[in-house]
Amino acid sequence: MRALCWQGTGKVDVETVPDPEIIDQRDAILRVTSTAICGSDLHLYDGYIPTMQKGDILGHEFMGEVVEVGREVKNLTQGDRVVSAFSISCGNCFHCRRELWALCENSNPNWRMLATMFGFPGAALFGYSHLYGGYAGGQAEYVRVPFADIGLLPVPEDLDDEKVLFLSDVFPTGYMAAENCGIQSGDIVAIWGMGPVGQMAAVSALLLGADRVIAIDRFPERLRMAEEHSGAYAVNYEETDDLVEFLKELTGGRGPDSAIEAVGMEAHSTGPGGIYDRVKQTVRLETGRPTALRQAIQACRPGGTVSIPGVFGGVIDKMPMGAAFAKGLTFKMGQTHMPRYMRPLLDRIVQGQLDPSFIITHRLPLEQAPEAYKVFREKDDECIKVVLNPGP
Amino acid sequence: MALQVREKSGARRIRKTLTVLRSAEDLYGYWRDFEHLPQFMDHVESVTVLDDKRSHWVAKAPLGQTVEWDAEIHEERTNEYITWRSLSGSQVEHSGEVRFRPASGDRGTEVSVMIRYVPPGGRVGATIAKLFGEEPSQQLDEDLYRFKQIMEAGRIPTIAGQPHGQRQFLAAAMQRMET
């Protein structure tokens, strides 16, 4: 089959590799019909995630048709149309039983590496380095899905791929970020980073009863998208001297009731703070550039919640813990507990409450994935979300 | 990492505890059938049960060799603990225990393993060191984690046999040196 393989920092290629086979009786094999490039794939592309190997197949947002199932997968049959969770969960451990699926204790073959770094091994991910299990990803014609009885959600035939594909990651991730805010009526939710997760967090915040969303980014097309689909008040942070003060002005001096940090370890910023972080990260003294997180803490109103769907991986500097403590903030974060959200959000799509496909800006065949990564990386051509089609 | 204690006598003890989401009865039952142990003890090739108390162990050694010993159960209490020791004259002199204690609430069972061994000297010692790995505590950690995976998820997760693109170890190593 053809598959997108990581070659090294800043380089990916489509290669011919062997087709995947059932290795374990809880596996399924999918013929991938649609797959997307995630913002977090850029962390791999940019070389910020250790333990990648040349030849690793990327991709954790995918859906397709079941072509084979292991004997122990009782809830799926050949021909089923399914969306896959980006993370892999066993369904049997303490955390899976409590629906904390992202904290699965049994899905990662390299649990020791993660446990050494973070003191605890989390769930494995598709196509996301050997630290996260080394499972081959879905930017390919076929993919092996382990623990397929847990991570695959059957979807109705009459919904286009594009309507349901984002149940694989960004819609549940944005939704959980909004849910983590504990939104109450009248709440104003500020969101840093209007990429696909930020867009999904914005529409989810409205679904959950927020009064208004403030969208923060520096790319006009992303801000326009948030205005159009979430009625957001758009703030281009490059056009303001003091974003935190600006946000207070927008909220009657209170600050937003919740702050969602949908940026993660590669935040961009203006001013000396941004240069400080960039230098430290380049020489690997710091593993993230937490500008947006710092701003979120400073802006959030006292007693509010900072919700972090943005991915962090190590240590960061100059966290305003004094402000966080003084304001009695609540922090909620972590990888999305996918199976908890996939079915309820599919129901919302089926009922027509929303159609997440509005985030798609580029549609390309899998063969053009290397170009797609480049365009997405540079945010050229107003690129926000790329869907790849592996089909003939 | 498992705790390591060096006794004044020169003997070493290593201990590791993990919580497994199964009943003490299930876990004890699986463990007590010693012929199951090679499924999660990486270096153990086979265990043959000789009678109610005694068993014969064969473990992998470097260069395709094996080491063998007999062990006997010293004390046991159903669903609570098993202690064992190697019989005199064994190449690998050690004793150990596994304890199963109900965890608080609905958290399953706390499984504690303690192994005490006297590092032998000479050629046998070198072989044994390789056998248990440079880090016997890491070996214990990994064995116990595999036990948890088998008992909870019914398997040890693996990526062995999945496809990947061209690997170029030399090129990859050189690139790392450049950056």
| Statement: residue A344 has pLDDT above 80 | yes
At B3 the pLDDT is 83
Least confident of A72-76, A380-384, B114-118, B143-147: B114-118
Contact B55, B34 (CB under 8 A): yes
- Contact call for B166 and A5, based on CB within 8 A: yes
Interface of B with A (CB under 8 A): 19, 21, 107-108, 141-142, 145, 148-149, 152-168, 171-172, 175, 179
- Contact call for B149 and A106, based on CB within 8 A: yes
At A283 the pLDDT is 56
- Contact call for B157 and A3, based on CB within 8 A: no
Q: A97 to chain B: nearest residue by CA? A: B21
Distance CA B71, CA B90 (A): 8
Mean pLDDT for all residues in chain A: 94
At B93 the pLDDT is 79
Q: Chain A closest CA to B131's CA: distance in Å?
A: 20
Tell me the chain A residues in contact with residue B158 when contact means C-beta distances shorter than 8 Å: 23-24, 109
- The model's pLDDT over B118-127, given as tens digits with 9 standing for 90+, comes to 776 655 665 6
| Statement: residue A379 has pLDDT above 80 | yes
Distance CA A261, CA A289 (A): 12
Overall pTM surpassing 0.80 (yes/no): yes
Residue A13: HSE in the Cβ half-sphere, 13 Å Cα cutoff: 11
Distance CA A219, CA A227 (A): 13
Which of B108, B163, B171 lies closest to A19 in CB terms?
B163
Which of B108, B148, B157 lies closest to A108 in CB terms?
B157
Mean pLDDT for all residues in chain B: 87
At B65 the pLDDT is 81
Which of B21, B163, B175 lies closest to A18 in CB terms?
B163
Region B101-112: mean pLDDT is 97
Tell me the chain A residues in contact with residue B19 when contact means C-beta distances shorter than 8 Å: 94
pLDDT band at A269 (very low <50, low <70, confident <90, very high): low
Size of interface A-B (CB pairs under 8 A): 100
pLDDT band at B110 (very low <50, low <70, confident <90, very high): very high
Tell me the chain A residues in contact with residue B168 when contact means C-beta distances shorter than 8 Å: 54-55
Structure tokens given for A217: 């980014």
Q: Is the ipTM of this complex over 0.85?
A: yes
Residues in chain A: 392
- The model's pLDDT over A98-139, given as tens digits with 9 standing for 90+, comes to 999 999 999 999 999 888 888 888 999 999 999 999 999 999
pLDDT band at A46 (very low <50, low <70, confident <90, very high): very high
- The model's pLDDT over A273-301, given as tens digits with 9 standing for 90+, comes to 566 666 666 655 555 568 899 999 999 99
Please work out, in degrees rounded to the nearest 5, the angle formed at the alpha carbon of residue B52 by the alpha carbons of B48 and B57: 25
Cα-Cα-Cα-Cα torsion A76, A155, A95, A26, nearest 10 degrees, comes to 20
On whether any CB of chain B is under 8 Å from the CB of A56, the answer is yes
Which of B107, B145, B158 lies closest to A23 in CB terms?
B158
Cα–chain center distance at A213: 20
Q: Chain A closest CA to B134's CA: distance in Å?
A: 16
Could you give the C-alpha distances from A199 to A177, A194, A204, B137, in angstroms and in order? 11, 6, 9, 47
